[in-house]
């Protein structure tokens, strides 16, 4: 098959859980012999590139997707590109796959308006939440599957470090809690990694080292190998990939009990 993914951004230029989830899925498709082209709605330095066999084409013009639709067997999309990908798929008669990462109102409306041939939820709780909502607004339920964000253990497994770590200093990810703990525990070393989106809550404390945004393929050596405990005090997580990446190495994860984190961490998480 030939797959076209219409996305807004992609690793290694943009590093967030949604992007690494989709990339891990697309590289698996390449591994099974399929051809995958990713067309971005944002520019990226250096022009087109290939990552794990996935061909990535940064934005040049609004006509970019049409260079690949003639040969595409399916269009895959998520987040802000969902509406346009759905329209193009409907116009050209190409099946569209929506990958869903949250239960926010805009995402719900994209799914409701569709059309999509397949909805891919990142967790069981999200599927149940969406299907209950679709029923409440008398909207049809699309054909759906649950694909929990895949984490390849061998790419993250490492030894424990000595830092208490937060990944993504975006305030809804719990940065205030992180900084409060660091201030109250001056004899403990903390590590923070800036996220790939949102205004970052960067402060200056002598016991906190702040790292820039780091591509997923460097997280093991530069972050998890230095981590003793991972904090995930997020207001909202539909899944929480960084927690799973930490559990690969037996790193304890202390988390806010969102539905997604309770599903992803299960009995292995410590919930506060």
Give the mean pLDDT of the chain. Answer: 97
pTM for this prediction: 0.94
Q: CA–CA separation, 126 vs 101, rounded Å?
A: 8
Q: How far apart are the first and last CA of the chain?
A: 45
Residue 52 is predicted with a pLDDT of 97
Count of the separate structural domains present in the chain: 2
Looking at the chain, the whole-number percentage of residues with pLDDT higher than 70 is 100
139 and 21 in one domain?
Answer: yes
Question: Which of 71-80, 110-119, 122-131 is the least confident region?
Answer: 110-119
pLDDT at 161 (0 to 100): 96
Q: Which of 162, 126, 166 is nearest to 144 (CA)?
A: 126
Among residues 146, 169, 202, the one where a domain terminates is: 146
Same domain, 6 and 141: yes
13 and 139 fall within a common domain: yes
In a shared domain, residues 172 and 128: no
Residue among 156, 164, 159 at smallest CA distance from 209: 164
Together in a domain, 28 and 69: yes
Alpha-carbon gap, residue 7 to 14, rounded angstroms: 11
pLDDT digits (tens, 9 = 90+) for 230-249: 999 999 999 999 999 999 99
Element (H, E) at 245: helix 241-247
Shortest CA distance to 265 belongs to which of 156, 247, 220?
A: 247
- Provide mean pLDDT across the span 72-84: 97
Residue 31 belongs to domain with CATH number:
3.40.50.2000
The answer on pLDDT for 126 being more than 90 is yes
Domain boundary residue among 146, 163, 191?
146
Same domain, 135 and 223: no
Domain containing residue 63: 2-146
What is residue 142's DSSP assignment?
P
115 falls in which pLDDT band (50, 70, 90)? confident
Of 101, 100, 66, nearest to 84 by C-alpha is 66
Mean pLDDT of 143-151: 97
- Same domain, residue pair 20 and 107: yes
The packing angle between helices 124-136 and 105-113, to 10°, is: 70
Same domain, 9 and 141: yes
**pLDDT of amino acid 114:** 84
165: pLDDT strictly greater than 90: yes
The verdict on 189 and 255 lying in the same domain is: yes
Q: For residue 238, what is the DSSP state?
A: S
Confidence at residue 119, expressed as pLDDT on a 0 to 100 scale: 98
| Statement to judge: residues 125 and 206 lie in one domain | no
pLDDT at 207 over 90: yes
Q: What is the mean pLDDT of residues 89-112?
A: 96
Closest CA to 146 of 258, 236, 260: 260
pLDDT confidence of residue 254: 98
pLDDT over threshold 90, residue 31:
yes
- Among the candidates 146, 171, 199, a domain finishes at 146
pLDDT average, residue stretch 198-212: 98
Do 140 and 169 lie in a common domain? no
CA-based max dimension of the chain: 61
Residues 111 and 213 in one domain: no
């Amino acid at each position: 098959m030939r797959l076209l993914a219409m996305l807004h951004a992609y690793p290694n230029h943009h590093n967030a859980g949604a992007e690494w989830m989709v990339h891990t899925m697309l590289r698996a498709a390449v591994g099974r012999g399929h051809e995958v082209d990713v067309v971005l709605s944002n520019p990226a330095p250096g022009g087109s590139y290939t990552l794990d066999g996935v061909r990535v084409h940064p934005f040049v013009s609004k006509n970019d997707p049409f260079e690949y639709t003639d040969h595409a067997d399916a269009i895959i999309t998520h987040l802000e590109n969902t509406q346009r990908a759905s329209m193009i798929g409907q116009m050209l008669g190409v099946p569209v796959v929506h990958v869903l990462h949250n239960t926010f109102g805009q995402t719900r409306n994209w799914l409701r308006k569709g059309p999509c041939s397949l909805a891919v939820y990142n967790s069981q709780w999200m599927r149940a939440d969406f299907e209950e909502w679709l029923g409440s607004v008398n909207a049809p339920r699309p054909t759906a599957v649950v694909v929990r964000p895949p984490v390849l253990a061998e790419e993250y497994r490492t030894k424990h470090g000595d830092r208490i770590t937060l990944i993504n200093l975006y305030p809804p990810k719990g940065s205030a809690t992180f900084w409060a703990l660091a201030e109250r525990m001056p004899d403990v070393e903390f590590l923070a990694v800036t996220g790939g989106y949102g205004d970052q809550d960067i402060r200056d404390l002598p016991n906190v080292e702040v790292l820039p945004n780091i591509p997923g393929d460097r997280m093991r050596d530069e972050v998890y190998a230095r981590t003793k405990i991972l904090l995930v005090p997020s207001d909202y997580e539909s899944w929480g990939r960084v927690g799973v990446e930490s559990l690969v190495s037996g790193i304890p994860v202390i988390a806010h009990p969102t539905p997604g984190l309770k599903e992803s961490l299960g009995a292995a998480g410590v919930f506060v």
